[in-house]
Amino acid sequence: MATLHRIDALLGPEDPDRRAQSPSDAEALDAYSRVVTEVARGLAPSVASLRVAHGRRRGPGAVGGGSGVAITPDGFVLTSAHVVADSGRLGSARFADGRELQFTVVGRDTLSDLAVLRVDAGDLRPATLGDAERLAVGQLVVAIGSPYGFAGSVTAGVVSALGRSLPTRSRAATRIVESVIQTDAALNPGNSGGALVDGRGEVIGINTAVAGVGLGLAVPINEATRKILGALMREGRVRRAYLGIAGGGRPLPPRVARELGRRRGVEVVEVVAGSPADRAGVRPEDVIVTLDGAAIEDADDLQRLMDADRIATPIAARVVREGRELTIELVPAELEG
């Protein structure tokens, strides 16, 4: 009996509400549930389940699937480029209201893994595109799509990391999709092309990859991807400039770093034969420190500058070669996708 009294003393007097949630816990749970359900309710009419006939396949597996997000009332739908990679430009989109509409591929960009489709409808409910630049690690996000063909599936989680990179490839060209969003919201095959949504109900990413259990990736909606979407909607393709070099960031020699007031540049590892860089005289082991007046410290800096405005336009590159600084004029060509 004395032992029981000592245990009671340690535990303290019995709290009749101990086994029940405190009001603040209940309110927090309700608030979380309310955000997720409101976001799902608001976005569900905008998210479609895609069925894609793969032209090169026959028999089982000839029909694939994914998800898409309506972005205009008059029929434009956003998805992942790999979802419609082998579609023969045709497929169908089923919406939450039961309509199944045929789509055509307006344009796809493998190097950003984004594609724009068009369905014959004038009354779609478009999603609101947000800005992934405002995201913070730990922020609530909701994924809506059609994993394994189960349309309108909703999962929730948080932004588990920002600033990830996703390598993409198109023929001989490679590119890094920057600022990819990592989330622990459950993603499965079929979620690709679906919406990753913040607590305001704005689409801040397009789900693109399942990198592991509890690890999903989404292409961000930001200034760069909005330009890509605009180009796909207007022209059906994205034009990019091309120099023909492969390289990576490296520290500059101390003396050069002091003289230039910069610690890093991009070392050229390979020059493609016959490319603009080759014709201009760029050599392996050259270190590029500025391009068209902009500082270059890593490959991403170089990639960002290679937009359509620089195609066929002479630009100056400051290069360090064997400890000497020189200026090389390059004329970027258009990257053939």
Closest CA to 208 of 291, 115, 278: 115
Is residue 192 part of the annotated active site? The answer reads: yes
Q: Could you give the angle at the alpha carbon of 124 between the alpha carbons of 120 and 125, nearest 5°? A: 165
The answer to whether 246 and 277 have CB atoms below 8 angstroms apart is no
Nearest to 153 by CA among 215, 113, 207: 207
Q: Are strands 76-79 and 287-291 parallel, antiparallel or unpaired?
A: unpaired
Contacts of 211 (CB under 8 A, 6+ apart): 182, 217
Whole-angstrom Cα distance, residue 139 to residue 162?
A: 11
113 is catalytic: yes
From the candidates 113, 198, 286, 301, which is the catalytic residue?
Answer: 113
* Residue among 144, 149, 120 nearest 52 (CA): 149
Helix (H, G, I), strand (E, B) or coil at 118: strand
Cα gap 301→266, rounded to integer Å: 9
CB hemisphere CA count around 203 (13 angstroms): 29
CA separation for the pair 223, 237 (Å, rounded): 17
List of residues 6+ apart from 39 with CB closer than 8 A: 142, 197, 199, 201
Q: Is 54 a catalytic residue?
A: no
Active-site hit among 80, 82, 87, 179:
82
Active site residues: 82, 113, 192
